[in-house]
Amino acid sequence: MSNDEVMVHSDADVLTAAAAARLITRIVDAQRARGVASIVLTGGGTGIGVLRKVRESPANAAVDWSAVNVFWGDERFLPEGDGERNETQAREALLDHVPVDPRRVHPMAPSDGRFGSDVDAAAEHYAEVLGALAEAGSDRPVPRFDVLMLGVGEEGHTASLFPATPYVRDTEHVVVGVHDCPKPPAERISLTLPAIGSAAEVWLMTGGAGKAEAVSRALGGAHAVDIPAAGARGRERTLWLLDRQAAADSAAVTAPATPEQGITPP
Ligand code: 6PG
């Protein structure tokens, strides 16, 4: 497992722009190495803000969008096209504006699709989708994820894994149907921590003073059951992309002397 690395940017706008630049570069590098890149998207203001910045960046023309596999780390279980679905927001922010191959875009099922209102069946199906695309010879039941992006909630949730729920403890499944979620909507679909941990790189991206305590607890070694974001770790890299406000309470992250500063906690 990788050690956490922390990058602090001056504000949320710089954070999303810098993460977008990083994402474009990471996709281009993966395509150079393997011909194709696989990315896992997230919702929330930061995650969608990053996609918007990718769309606005002239550098996005360096990406072969027809060779990008797109997955989601979690989804609100709502009808197709609902404005609160992470898929809908990601399409509006980026995917509708770049020449992705629709066959490589793998959204989680909506609540009015072939599984109807059965969120567990929808979750099971997504696990099958991931399993079918797993690398030949790999013992991981998911594709190679080059970058898996996540947001962080004020109470430390990430993807749709909330503190002290059975879902954050789940080590049996790749994808879970989430019931009784404390943040609406009550039903969601989420990758589990082991599935998240299969990604080469996990990027936890968050800004604002409301996230400072959760970030500080995660970087301070909190248990994943208490602060789920603390359990999201990439195989090769775990990168926290923060703004100054979100980093403010973290003992290991001292006030940046320069506008942008990276640190690696001991
Ligand atoms: C949800 C949200 C949520 C969000 C985090 C971070 O599904 O309810 O998407 O999980 O990603 O709360 O949100 P911000 O990036 O807006 O801080």
User: Which is more confident, 136 or 36?
Assistant: 36
In a mutational test of the pocket of ligand 1, which residue from 11, 13, 46 has the highest number of ligand atoms less than 8 Å from its CB?
A: 46
pTM score = 0.94
Q: Return the CATH architecture of domain 4-256.
A: 3-Layer(aba) Sandwich (3.40)
Burial class (CB in 10 A: 0-12, 13-18, 19+), 167: buried
Ligand 1 proximity of 85 Cβ (cutoff 6 Å): no
- What is the rounded CA–CA span in Å between residue 52 and residue 19? 11
- For residue 203, pLDDT over 80 is answered with yes
Ligand 1 proximity of 153 Cβ (cutoff 6 Å): yes
Q: Which atom of ligand 1 is nearest to the CA of 42?
A: 11
Confidence of residue 266 (pLDDT cuts 50, 70, 90): very low
Q: Which residue owns the Cα nearest ligand 1 atom 5?
A: 153
Q: What's the pLDDT at 264? A: 53
Structural contact between residues 31 and 63, judged by C-beta atoms closer than 8 angstroms: yes
Q: Which atom of ligand 1 is nearest to the CA of 183?
A: 8
- What is the rounded CA–CA span in Å between residue 16 and residue 53? 7
- For residue 30, pLDDT over 50 is answered with yes
Q: How far is the centre of ligand 1, averaged over its atoms, from the C-alpha of 126 (Å)?
A: 21
Beta-sheet strand order (sheet of 74-76):
74-76, 188-191, 175-178
Q: How far is the centre of ligand 1, averaged over its atoms, from the C-alpha of 137 (Å)?
A: 35
Beta bridge partners of 75: 189
CA 9, 10, 11 angle in degrees (round to 5)? 100
Q: What's the pLDDT at 260? A: 57
Overall average pLDDT of the 152-160 stretch: 98
Give, in order, the Cα–Cα distances in Å from 236 to each of 202, 224, 261, 262: 8, 19, 21, 17
